[in-house]
Amino acid sequence: MNDVMPAGQIGRSLPRVEARAKVTGRAEYIHNLRLPGMLYAKIARSTIPHGRIKRIDASAAAAMPGVHSVVTGEDILKVIPEPYFGPAFHDQPILALGKVRFAGEPVAVVLAEDPKIAETASQQISIDYEELPAVYDEVEALTSTAYVHEALKPAGMFADLKHLAGKRDTNVALDYHLRRGDVDKAFAAADHVFEHVFRTPQQMHTPLEPHCAIADATSAGITVHSSTQTPSSVRVEIARLTGLPENRVRVRTAFLGGGFGAKVYVKMEALAVALSLLARRPVKVALTMEEQFFTISKHGSTFRIKSAVTKDGRITARYCEVIYNGGAYADIGPRVAQKSGFSAAGPYDIEHVAIDSFETYTNRPTAGALRGFGMPQLVWAYECHTDMIARALGLDPVEFRRKNLLRDGLPQATGTVLRDTATDAVLDRIVQRIGWGQPFDRGGGTIRRGRGIAIGMKASISPTTSVATIAVSADGSATLYCGTVDMGQGSTTALAQIAAEALSLDAEAVRVVAPDTDTTPYDMGTLGSRSTFHMGHAVRRAAEEVRGKLAAMAAEAGVPAGTNLPIAEIFRRKYGMQAGTIVGSGSFVPDYVPPNHDTGLTPNATPYWMSGGSGVEVEVDTETGQLRILRLVNVADCGTPINPKIVETQLTGAAVMQLGFTLSEEMVFTDGQLRNPNFADYKIPGIRDMPERLDGEAVASRQESGPYGAKGVGETGTFGVSPAIANAIEDAVGVRITELPITPEAVLRAIRAAAGDPLGDE
Amino acid sequence: MSEVSAAPRTLRFTLNGHAAECTVAPHETLVDVLRDRFALGGPRESCGQGLCGCCTALVNGAAVSGCLYLAAFADGAEIVTVEGLAAGDTLSPVQEAFIEAGAFQCGFCTPGFILMTTQLLKEHSDPSDDQIRHYLSGNLCRCGTYPQIIEAVKLAARKLNAA
């Protein structure tokens, strides 16, 4: 474990500050909120994947007792004249206007006094369409003449997307290109060239608290209660849509019943606001689990990767072509394609690198951020590829990685130099904990065992801003105001610990106010594992300002410097009674240099890198393709863990989630219609799907640029799981799976195909 | 076949130790009634298919999925939600164990896991790993906190057996 001050707040595994509220059922979730006079909304959704809306007949629904009104896209125009939203592109209508672009798109809404009435009435809305040709596959989208959008509409938020404005006849929402060295020359001169293609399916976050937003529009302004990870960004977007100043839009949240990226940027909030503006009453838009599948998802992807390797096992060149399936609306997908594009070549020291990363539009439900922002898809491909090369050259997969590892102090593919990146320590710990290279029971007959490892590395978020405020009351107690949303990652606890450390208090003595844009200052969002680092810095700076002001107040009150007088006594000397408040604020904006448009290179792509990896031991039944995970160890470099217990839980939890994405989860479509938007048909991991042994570990490391040496860890545990499992399967039975999920059927098909006895078609 | 009536009926039951009464329509589910009529936030509807366990309540000591269990069946029963486990400020041993083992992250599924564990430990004071997995197989935790939940169940068993 890391060196920590024994009496300090950093490195303390205190239970979550809200633990008691969570075990008594009293923790607040927006899911539980009801307002007086509130109407319930139920969405009627498109039944076709692409088409023009010819007619909407809502008369039967509107006539039902208990129905307040039926709202369509045309009605929205009365209150929001430009009703298109999105963080990267303003391409998504609040309700479909003229066209639908995926089966499941919101077309109309019933407002009713009772949610059951709204649901029944929504089924009475009749919508006629003229169907249009559609495109579903990301590779086909590159060349298809079925265009999802007439023209690209980049938003103003990201300056480097402006050149895309108005571009027509394309399904490519964003293309990112990186060129380092001369890959063509390196490939021509190579001893060996390896090329493979890997795919991942569209998948869903399935937070157990489904998306929920309540809007209350009055003449004084708009209040939105939302299960959002990004209250500040939602406020900015609602202010833009309604034309109100930011101070007339209040966005607040509570604890989130899971987020995982599903709840970043506007989701249901714009619809709730429009409905409340129309009805002049509070309106709740609460999705069902099924509806979440039509709201946001994880990109399916196709990744073609090609490497040049010398005969002694040095990778000299790598080409990566990544095609993401972004679905019908951009959401934050273009950033996924760009930011993950930075790191598509993996944590290896490669002289010549070329990367082409594409975000495509298709007629599927929208894809956005999901715990890793594209990296799990990329690590899946490059770590399978890395293992396949090692095996083809007869090299030990660990030694091959060590030989090519991108070590601290070296420039990453973008040109950004690694600082305090402990990828080598991550690899070493996986090797130790899994017992790599040591003999183990490989099974026999129809039961075979194998081991695999994988490592990955991700850039953090930039450009971005976090602001925090700390108030100290006259009794010496401290309150932290910040917009970081606790969705289970333990940020409330970790940030209380950082504030307490800086103020020389116990973490339990710091109260953390839930995000509310009326009181908590701006924060871009709780995403990309950024809060510990970015908000942690802002909190630390706010605490330092508070300390400075306390010292000044003490001096003013005639208290000698270095006094051990309690803070409450200093307040009393200054104000003559228990009165007064000291407020300090801090902000953090990391340095960033945007990538060069032509080369994709930048000396400063990210304020820090996150490394993580996995080691697994699997058992394969060669008769059935059934897989058992006997052992899974997830190791991460998160700098100094602020709360080691929560960090460990993050790492094992991320492993469990990624096990689902690896072994069972897939959104299955037929002709653009999603067939399995529910837990009966979309299988997420349960307690019986646990590996027999599962461990999480943070390596001893320190991010010098981070608050108290810390950096983020929310996503890191997702990187290595999928490729480590595929690598272990090859180790066990000699077959290679190149597409997720790795179902028993997929394993059996591969085994039978390798044996020259393929299974028939599905 | 008896006559099917859509008429509302009045139920009387015990809710978290107190006498309760309400009038429900035949289609109303237990989770809706607990949330809408009694303003309880512990039972939560998530998957709507009886697969995730977020809506769990104990009916006569047995965990049920409140999203599938018709409220009308609760007539005369003793119903316990997570709100009914603590005695004043004193948490139940299961609740304490979940805190000490760090057995939750977002906490949305936690009431269901705690109620199911309460039933498990009433029926098996020293459960095996397989019994724990069997009893908790109807509860889903998307944050993936299962290793810590298993630890919490074992800790709770030790607490109860020591008491």
Q: What are the structural domains, with CATH classification, of chain B?
A: 9-84 (3.10.20.30), 93-162 (1.10.150.120)
CA distance B3 to chain A (A): 25
What's the pLDDT score for residue A762? Answer: 66
Which of B56, B105, B153 is best to mutate for the A interface (most A CBs within 10 A)? B105
What's the pLDDT score for residue A364? Answer: 98
Which of B142, B145, B149 is best to mutate for the A interface (most A CBs within 10 A)? B142
Residues A571 and A617 both lie in one domain: no
Confidence of residue B4 (pLDDT cuts 50, 70, 90): low
A656: nearest Cα among B148, B145, B46: B145
Residue pair A673/A103 in contact (Cβ under 8 Å)? The answer is yes
Which of A22, A209, A687 is the closest to B146 by Cβ? A687
Name the helix (H) or strand (E) containing B13. strand B9-15
What's the pLDDT score for residue A1? Answer: 30
- Is residue A232 situated within a structural domain? yes
Which of B35, B86, B137 is the closest to A687 by Cβ? B137
When divided into structural domains, chain A yields a total of 3
Residues from chain A that touch B143, judged by Cβ atoms under 8 A, are 258, 488, 653, 657
Residues A370 and A263 both lie in one domain: no
The pTM of the whole model exceeds 0.95: yes
Residues A316 and A423 both lie in one domain: yes
Which of B41, B143, B150 is the closest to A32 by Cβ? B41
CA A22 to chain centre: 24
Residues A550 and A648 both lie in one domain: no
CA distance A646 to chain B (A): 8
**With a cut of 50, which residues of chain A have pLDDT below it?**
1-6
Angle between helices A375-392 and A397-404 (to 10 degrees): 110
If phi over 0 gives left and psi between -120 and 50 gives alpha, with beta otherwise, what is residue B75?
Answer: beta
Provide the domain limits for residue A46: 38-134+205-292
- Is residue A310 situated within a structural domain? yes
Residues in Cβ contact with A606 at an 8 Å cutoff, skipping those fewer than 6 apart: A342, A416, A459, A460, A461, A462, A590, A592
Domain-terminating residue out of A556, A588, A620: A588
Tokens standing for A96?
């479909």
CATH code, domain carrying A441: 3.30.365.10
What's the pLDDT score for residue A357? Answer: 97
Residue pair A468/A482 in contact (Cβ under 8 Å)? The answer is yes
Decide if B76 touches A, using CB distance below 8 A: no
Domain-terminating residue out of A554, A588, A622: A588
State how far the Cα of B12 lies from the Cα of A263, in Å rounded to an integer. 40
pLDDT digits over A483-493, tens only? 999 999 999 99
State how far the Cα of A261 lies from the Cα of A489, in Å rounded to an integer. 12
Which of B31, B51, B143 is best to mutate for the A interface (most A CBs within 10 A)? B143
Cβ distance of B133 and A26 shorter than 8 Å: no
Residues from chain A that touch B57, judged by Cβ atoms under 8 A, are none
What's the pLDDT score for residue A461? Answer: 87
DSSP helix/strand/coil, A660: helix
Q: DSSP characters for A347-377?
A: SB--SEEEEEEEEE--SSS--B--SSTTHHH
Residues A545 and A603 both lie in one domain: no
Which of A490, A650, A657 is the closest to B142 by Cβ? A657
Residues A108 and A245 both lie in one domain: yes
- Is residue A6 situated within a structural domain? no
- Is residue A158 situated within a structural domain? no
Decide if B25 touches A, using CB distance below 8 A: no
Residues from chain A that touch B83, judged by Cβ atoms under 8 A, are 24-26
CA distance B53 to chain A (A): 10
On the question of pLDDT at B1 being above 60, the answer is: no
Decide if B110 touches A, using CB distance below 8 A: yes
DSSP letter at A149? -
**Closest residue in B to A490 (Cα–Cα):** B105
Residues A455 and A473 both lie in one domain: no
Residues A428 and A343 both lie in one domain: yes
What's the pLDDT score for residue A3? Answer: 36
Residues A348 and A369 both lie in one domain: yes
Residue pair B103/B156 in contact (Cβ under 8 Å)? The answer is no
Residues A93 and A210 both lie in one domain: yes
pLDDT digits over A366-379, tens only? 999 999 999 999 99
Domain-terminating residue out of A240, A269, A292: A292
What's the pLDDT score for residue A4? Answer: 37
